[in-house]
Amino acid sequence: MPQVRFDGRVVDPHALERFCTRLLQTHGLSEVDAQLVAETLVEANLRGVDSHGVARLPHYLRRIHRGSINPQPRLKVETLGPSVGRVNGDRGLGQVVMQRATEQAMVLARETGAGWVAVSNSSHCGALAYYGLQMAEAGMIGFVFTHVDPMVLPHGSRQAFCGTNPLCVTAPRAPRGAGEEPTGALCLDMATSKVPWNTIANAKMEGVPVEPGWAVDAEGKDTTEAGRVVSLYPFGGYKGSGLGLMIDVLCAMLGGAPIGPDIPRMYGDLTEPRQLGGLVGAIDIGRFVPLETFHGRVAELIQRWRALPPSEPGGRVLYPGEPELLQRRHRQREGIPLGNRLLDELESLARETGQEGAMARLLLVVPPPARTQVPPNKKAARETAS
């Protein structure tokens, strides 16, 4: 995923997760929900998806303070049929809402072979891979969609209509044997814009430019100044543009959420709830073929894929999800890089909430040279409020 470069320092991922959990608890979240949200953010950083990592936490806390995010939502889970359901998020943090929808989709899939759960009245849910990988780990094919406020130019237009409208599709690989390295599921997690909007937000925060060809200013002209960005280009021209529109249909119209142009802006009025929708789908592979057979065929698929001749000398042909897996292994050993301005903002939040000691003791700690691998989604079985 494209990212921006910035000056900063490396922090310990486990200390960072504990620190984020404490900050969320000081803003009214239960311990269980705070741990969930903190884990999703740190997992995104570990996988190299810094656009959806802890840089988003200060914004979440500001929205909680301004009343547009409910720190203790009462989620409403509806069963609409044997394989379909809906979760009303009660203005909760998107991670709490999407996690509940993912769990419900897997329950329905176990019962009937497939489960589809629409989401409404939610907020920004972070990186979709977190939810998709849970379904893969459960022996299912996973689908996750969400939508956001208008920030992407439709192909041929000078004005944004849909959001970055990401999608995630996952498929499992065979579980690792004793002593083997984690293999990682197939995982495609992508925005329908060239880059996520929050990559631009990170660049603006750290005062660094963005790449040419990513975005335009208010006059519709290409810009590399993050502070002047108004809209993003879709990936692949009309292909990304059309896919983003169809994801808006899936996320808005099944759960009763507003469509792209009507969605309150993420960085607009912080007192206005986002009202975001989403859709989670799970397919129980064992209903079609034995899971072991599926694992074997996926292993063969990846083997043949990776055996292809690279386009550049010394290069590798990586399968979807492998770059993030490699980055995760690296950052588990070496730590997570955070920008100086983000660290300043986290330090300010620590002072405001009486967490100065936690900031000093837990956050600014460079990890030792080697650490034990921690599997992703280690808290996936948690129960959330309903």
- Of 27, 124, 147, 295, the catalytic one is 124
124 as an active site residue: the answer is yes
238 phi and psi angles, rounded to 5 deg: -65, -20
Amino acid present at 118: A
Residue 376's Cα: distance from chain center in Å? 13
Helix %, strand %, coil % of the chain (to 5): 40, 15, 40
Rounded to 10 degrees, the C-alpha dihedral 128/130/136/137 comes to -170
How do strand 84-88 and strand 114-122 relate by DSSP bridges? Answer: parallel
For 377, half-sphere exposure in the C-beta direction (CA atoms, 13 angstrom radius) is 20
- The crossing angle, in degrees rounded to 10, of helices 129-137 and 94-112 is 30
The vertex-334 CA angle with 5 and 138, nearest 5°, equals 95
CA pair distance 201, 3, nearest whole angstrom? 11
**How far are the Cα atoms of 39, 84, 135, 226 from residue 381, in angstroms, in the given order?**
13, 21, 11, 39
- Return the active site residues: 124
